[in-house]
């Protein structure tokens, strides 16, 4: 199973929006509505930010939103804040309880 493709980096100024793409195949992203997104600060464990493509866990700000079209999922962070600076990983269910993660995107708040 190949890793999902994400851009290595993305950036925006405080208050702006940034969108991260996550491209897979019809066997993972395109085949299931089970895309999730994780935020990871340096030295910390990942944190679930979005699941089932567009659902937010309790406690996650509504500045974070997710979507999917075909084999590509996207995470949008609106109203960027300094604490949003982190690495972001997408993940997709790939059948038979297998999962595949994205390559990761470093978001920088300028």
Partner 1 sequence: EVQLVESGGGLVQPGESLRLSCAASGFSFSSYSMIWVRQVPGKGLEWVSYISGSGNTKYYADSVKGRFTISRDNAKNSLYLQMNSLRAEDTAVYYCTRRPNAEMDVWGKGTAVTVSS
Residues that bind partner 1 (CB under 8 A): 1, 3, 32, 34, 36, 38, 44-48, 51-52, 57, 89, 91, 93, 96-104
The Cβ of residue 54 has, within 10 Å, a number of other Cβ atoms equal to: 16
The Cβ of residue 92 has, within 10 Å, a number of other Cβ atoms equal to: 29
- Shortest distance, CB of residue 44 to partner 1, whole angstroms? 8
- Shortest distance, CB of residue 77 to partner 1, whole angstroms? 18
User: With contact defined as beta carbons under 8 Å apart, do 2 and 86 qualify?
Assistant: no
Token pair of 50 as six digits: 């979005």
Q: Which is nearer to partner 1, 34 or 85 (CB)?
A: 34
Q: Which is nearer to partner 1, 10 or 48 (CB)?
A: 48
């Amino acid at each position: 199973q190949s890793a999902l493709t994400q851009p290595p980096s993305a950036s925006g100024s405080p208050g702006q929006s940034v969108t991260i793409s996550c491209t897979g195949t019809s066997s993972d992203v395109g085949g299931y509505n089970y895309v999730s997104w994780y935020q990871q600060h340096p030295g910390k464990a990942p944190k679930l930010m979005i699941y089932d493509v567009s659902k937010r866990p309790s406690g996650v700000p509504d500045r974070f939103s997710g979507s999917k079209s075909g084999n590509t999922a996207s995470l949008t962070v609106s109203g960027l804040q300094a604490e949003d600076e982190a690495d972001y990983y997408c993940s997709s269910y790939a059948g038979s309880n297998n999962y595949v993660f994205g390559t990761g995107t470093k978001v920088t708040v300028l």
